[in-house]
Amino acid sequence: MVTALLLASPASAETLGEAIAAAYESNPQLAAARARQEALAETPEQERALARPTLSVDGNGGYDRLGYGKSASLTANVALPIWTGGRVSSAVRAANGDVAAGEEGLRDTEAAILQGVVSAYAALLYNQQAVEVARVGIERLDTQVAETRARYDLGQATRTDVAQLEAQRSTVVANLADAEGALATAAATYRATVGRDAGTLTAEVPPPAALPASRDEARQAAETANPLLLQQRLAVEASDARIDRARAEGAPSLDLGGAYGRGERLSGGNLHDFAGAGSVRMTLRVPLLTGGLVSSRVRQAEANNRAERFLADAAERDALRGADTAWAMLNAARSRLRANIEGLAAADLALKGVRAEYGFGLRSTVDILVADQGFRAAELAVAIARSDLLVAQAAMLRATGRLDRNTYR
């Protein structure tokens, strides 16, 4: 009951899902990452264009003082690659690999930003609760100070008892000032991350259904869905295609081309036509000697491919390490929250008991001060444990590739 009262929120409070949706739609860093991915997605089309026909028109005009007068010509040129030796197909495969890797990179960027939203939400939620704990603590101490002063007037308490309670109240007032300053800082971070002010946040955030149930499930999910690992694996595929692209530079190519043009000459006030001319040609290019350029580029592409494979192995290790670390942090956060909730219930019971016994003269003012301080510390411990659990859940979801805009709906 104590925990429910502590975490109660107004019906109009903002939820974590709403904060994530707002950040997803308005975060400028995420918008920039999407735009860069759109630009990258154009590269396969640019590579395909190298195998398509092209048409151009050339025109020129001039003046000749030797009697030809003014002249002009217009020529249309068409070219069609017939065989590119695998240059275009391998370039398209490499570009498609880059685009697919970019999509995974964009997915990780989204997850990183959404993880930042969760962290900002958790920090703001904790600071809101810390301010509320201090305010309620001041109200509780005001009541206790008034009661002790009344007992002092009746000769049942000493001036020392009143002074001790007033000193405790001053300490809590100072804590409230610190909490309000931290709250303002957390609110600014939240505003920058989400794009709007939060108001009061909802403290009850149900655990996402996408959370893995075991460490083995977390590791398996990281191996199959971690965006950084998938990005690096796709980079390996793109580097494979670049080896083929480098080798294709040494292969023959065949082009079909044609042109047609006409000219006009203005001389002596009369317009004279030049005869129209057209041509069709087939061009075969066979690299016979490249000075070692092609073989060097092939060796370079193969070395880059080996580097990408090593990086893929490193990315797999990092993904598994991240899953193991996130799982350990998540379990610790869950255990800490359960223990702190139990501690809060015990501190609440202790405070009520001490106050009741104080009324019968069985407890001193120091006992009340200790019990009150313990209760407030227990409230803050529950609040920070709940905040830490949200952060740990987000870290686990990102490590397993399951953190997206729909995770907290």
Contacts of 87 (CB under 8 A, 6+ apart): 50, 245, 248, 249, 251, 253
348 in the same domain as 267: no
356 in the same domain as 282: no
70 in the same domain as 107: no
Nearest to 123 by CA among 193, 56, 26: 193
16 in the same domain as 75: no
* Residue at a domain's end among 286, 304, 330: 286
Residue 96 lies in a domain: yes
Reported pTM:
0.85
How far from chain centre, in Å, is Cα 198? 20
Contacts of 135 (CB under 8 A, 6+ apart): 176
170 in the same domain as 119: yes
70 in the same domain as 202: no
Tell me, what CATH number does 312's domain have?
Answer: 1.20.1600.10
122 in the same domain as 37: yes
Residue 229 lies in a domain: yes
Nearest to 328 by CA among 386, 402, 396, 228: 396
Residue 21 lies in a domain: yes
Identify the DSSP state of 80: E
How confident is the prediction along the chain (409 residues), in pLDDT tens digits per residue? 344 444 444 445 689 999 999 999 999 999 999 999 999 999 999 999 999 999 999 887 776 655 556 777 788 899 999 999 999 999 999 999 999 999 999 999 999 999 999 999 999 999 999 999 999 999 988 988 898 888 888 888 889 988 988 999 999 999 999 999 999 999 999 999 999 998 888 888 999 999 999 999 999 999 999 999 999 999 999 999 999 999 999 999 999 998 888 777 665 556 556 667 788 889 899 999 989 999 999 999 999 999 999 999 999 999 999 999 999 999 999 999 999 999 999 999 999 999 888 888 888 888 888 999 999 999 999 999 999 999 999 999 999 999 999 999 8
Residue 104 lies in a domain: yes
330 in the same domain as 282: no
Residue 391 lies in a domain: yes
The count of structural domains within the chain is: 2
- Give residue 158's domain range: 2-41+86-251+293-399
233 in the same domain as 112: yes
Between the alpha carbon of residue 209 and those of residues 65, 205, 213, 408, the distances in Å are: 86, 12, 10, 9
Residue 218 lies in a domain: yes
